[in-house]
Structure formats: C-alpha cells, structure tokens
Amino acid sequence: MICDGRGTPLKVITTAANVNDVTQTLALVDGIPPVAGRPGRPRRRPEALLGDTGYDSNLNRDELCRRRILLVISRKGSPNIKGIGKLRYVVEQTFALLHHFKRLAVCWERRTELHDAFVSLACSLICYRRLKKARS
C-alpha cells in the first residue's frame, strides 16, 4: 500500500504471501492516480517516498532518483533515520483502518479479484469518511 501523509490510501496491490514487498515499490509509485487540489496540472508522482530499511535496494533508489522522487529510506546496515517511526506510523494506521473491515483481516476468498474488490471498496469508504469529516 502507498498512502499520503495523512494516511489516505492512494494505491493498493495484492500479492502472494511470500512475495517481498520491495519488488512492488515501483508498481505502486507508477499506479498513483493524478491528485488534484492545487491550481494547475494534477500531480502524478510524490515529492518524497518514505520507507523502512526493508525497502532499500539499489534498483529502487536509481529508478526513483531518475523520476526525481526524494527517498527517505535508511540504508541496510546503517542506523535508522531519527524520527522515521513517527512517520511510518501513518502507514500502519492505514492498515489498521483496513483491518476494521473484518473480511479483509484474513483473506478468505479463493479468487484475488474478489479480495481486490473488497480492498478497493474499503479504501473508497476510508476516503469518503475523511472527506466527510473534513467538510464538517
């Protein structure tokens, strides 16, 4: 999952249980839809990408630097960036919001299309609730 700084889900990809998350980083970044809000053309890519040490790879670093995306990822074997836990909490909070929908906590569907549909519906409800809260 990739989300914005407030925890609003932007893109979710379902993979098998034994697939390393770092392999899906570029697919998530490429799959972000245009985000409007400010005058002008909608942004298609984030300004910065935050991740923990598990997302550190030279391929991802090179590709994201080529796309002019600032990386905030600790290198493997070096001390963690101070305060990254507070920022990482936003993603964990979004996963917790998804798990409030009991059907998503454990994948019971045999077909991934059904699971993806329920995840999309849950993300839509999360976005709707945030918009509704912002307007109140």
pLDDT of residue 121: 92
pLDDT of residue 79: 65
Q: Are 122 and 101 in contact (CB under 8 A)?
A: yes
Interatomic CA distance for residues 33 and 107, integer angstroms:
26
Interatomic CA distance for residues 113 and 14, integer angstroms:
9
Domain positions in the chain: 2-135
66-94 residues labelled b (16+ CB within 10 A) or e (exposed):
eeeeeeebbeeeeeebeebeeebeebeeb
Average pLDDT over residues 40-69: 83
Give me the chain's average pLDDT, please.
83
* CATH number of this structure's domain 2-135, picked from the four choices 3.30.420, 3.30.1490, 3.40.470, 1.10.3470: 3.30.420
Closest-CA residue to 125 (of 107, 105, 100): 100
String of DSSP letters for 39-104:
SSSPB-S-SEEEE-GGG--HHHHHHHHHTT-EEEEPPTTSPPPTTHHHHHHHHHHHHHHHHTSHHH
Q: How many angstroms separate the Cα of 134 from the Cα of each of 95, 129, 130, 131? A: 21, 9, 6, 5
Residue position matching structure tokens 């770092």: 22
Closest-CA residue to 52 (of 71, 74, 70, 69): 74
pTM of the model: 0.75
Model pLDDT for residues 26-52, shown as the tens digit of each residue:
888 888 887 777 788 877 788 888 877
